[in-house]
Structure 1
Amino acid sequence: MQNLIKRIIGIGVIVLIIVLGFKYCQFKKEDDSDIQYNTNLIQQQILNVGKLVVTEGHFSEVITYKNQQKYLMDMISFEKKALIVVNANVTVAYDLHQMKYDIDEKNKTITILNIPKEEITINPDIQFYDVEQSKLNPFTGDDYNKINKSVKANLAKKIENSTLKTNAQNRLISELSKILIMTNSMGWKLQYNGKTIESETELTQDLNSKL
């Protein structure tokens, strides 16, 4: 009788171990599936964000260009001058296809490793008016190169003093905030610049310190 009881207890223990093992495997499978599902969602969100963010601006300026060519110990000079009107389209772009990141499934953390630097493109339309020149001092390719270089340098200063770059950064932050919202809603963490980002304000501060 005791042997029978021992066998029944032994069988019961074996059945319990099998059931618990099955439940554990099923739980682990569901847990792994959930992690994979969350990872896929985050990767898809990054792909959606990974695009070209472009901010456009328009600048205008008027330049007077003068140049003198002197002869006979500066007693004779020949001047050339022109009124130059510049209209330029400028773009500031962030190519987020080049953004580098790392996904840590175990610790449910996504780390932004690198955000590409902005790309500034200046396309000036230069028109010449009231052109005055002489055969001894005509406009040459060298003059046009100097004018083009000067125009782009002036435009670069105007861009720095404008809100164009700030507007571009705000659009960049808006796109990256989508990743922050996704990670927070799924119980994941977003890290950048060596710290965990808790809010859009922190993201803005860290980006401004790096850009």
Structure 2
Amino acid sequence: MIRWYFGFALLVLAFLAGAYITREYFKSAENRVVNETAVVIAEKFTDVMKLVAVEGHFSEIYTYEDYVGWSWFPLRKKALVRVDAKVSAGFDLEFMCLVIDDDSRTVYLSQPPPPSILSIDHNLQYYDISQGAFNVFSASDYNHINAKAKENISIAALSDGTLLKKASLQMYHIIDGLESGLNSIGWNLEFTPMEPALDEFYGPELVSVQRVN
């Protein structure tokens, strides 16, 4: 009988201790103070001539696992990440040339470059992170996961081919609209594989020149 009372008393004490610890935890959570500091520095601005023709949205489930020797919990770190990305594809117009011939009422446009991926905006959501006592995550691990997730999105966007095909089709529609607009005012649009012959032709400059026979 004494043992029964003693066991019951221990059970009650354990329950009260658990209730006290839980209450103190939530109390401390309510009084928690988070300090955050951010310093944003504008380092460099660069002029670009890029045309975004199409955007694609991709989702990825990325699993990262690292261990040495044995895949045993104390020696293993693992993360399950969902990646949502917006991939912009289009054209870099930096080396395109546009020349206007007033005499022949013709606009000469160099062939546009092939489409490419211009930017990838991605967001990572960590669904599960586990790490062992002897193998923990570091800042370099998170940087690696971020870079690898972005690389996987880029590879998927390029291997699929749909994004770049849509970008090419969009460029075709843009040029077709430009040609129709020029024809409506009595001008012509011609493509040429010309290379810039004058300094003022470098870059996507709008230049008016006399016709050279």
1:86 aligns with 2:83: yes
Residues 174 and 153 from structure 1, CA distance in 2 versus in 1: closer, same or farther, beyond 3 angstroms?
same
In the TM superposition, what are the counterparts of 1:21-36 in structure 2 within 5 Å?
Answer: none
1:139 aligns with 2:167: no
RMSD across aligned positions (CA): 3.3
In structure 2, the partner of 1:106 is 103
- How many residues end up aligned between the 2 structures? 144
User: How far apart, CA to CA, are the structure 1 residues paired with 2:151 and 2:93?
Assistant: 27
Structure with max Cα Rg? 1
In structure 2, the partner of 1:175 is 174
Counterpart amino acid of 1:165? Answer: L
Query: 2:112 aligned to 111, 115, 121, which one?
Result: 115
User: How far apart, CA to CA, are the structure 2 residues paired with 1:94 and 1:78?
Assistant: 47
Report runs of 4+ in structure 1 exceeding 6 Å deviation.
95-98
More helix by share: 1
The TM-score normalised by the length of structure 1 is: 0.56
User: How far apart, CA to CA, are the structure 2 residues paired with 1:51 and 1:63?
Assistant: 31
Check conservation: 1:53, 1:171, Cα contact below 8 A.
no
User: How far apart, CA to CA, are the structure 1 residues paired with 2:154 and 2:117?
Assistant: 13
1:128 aligns with 2:126: yes
| Secondary structure of 2:75 counterpart | strand
User: How far apart, CA to CA, are the structure 2 residues paired with 1:127 and 1:58?
Assistant: 16
Structure 1 position 58, deviation (Å):
0.9
Structure 1 position 115, deviation (Å):
3.5
Name the structure, 1 or 2, with higher relative contact order (CA <8 Å, separation 6+).
2
* Greater Cα shift, 142-151 or 109-118: 109-118
Residues 85 and 140 from structure 1, CA distance in 2 versus in 1: closer, same or farther, beyond 3 angstroms?
same
The TM-score normalised by the length of structure 2 is: 0.56
Check conservation: 1:55, 1:167, Cα contact below 8 A.
yes
Q: Deviations over 1:93-120 (max 9, x none)?
A: 4476985300111222211136366452
Counterpart amino acid of 2:139? Answer: G
Q: Deviations over 1:144-189 (max 9, x none)?
A: 2221222122111211114122212222211111221133344433
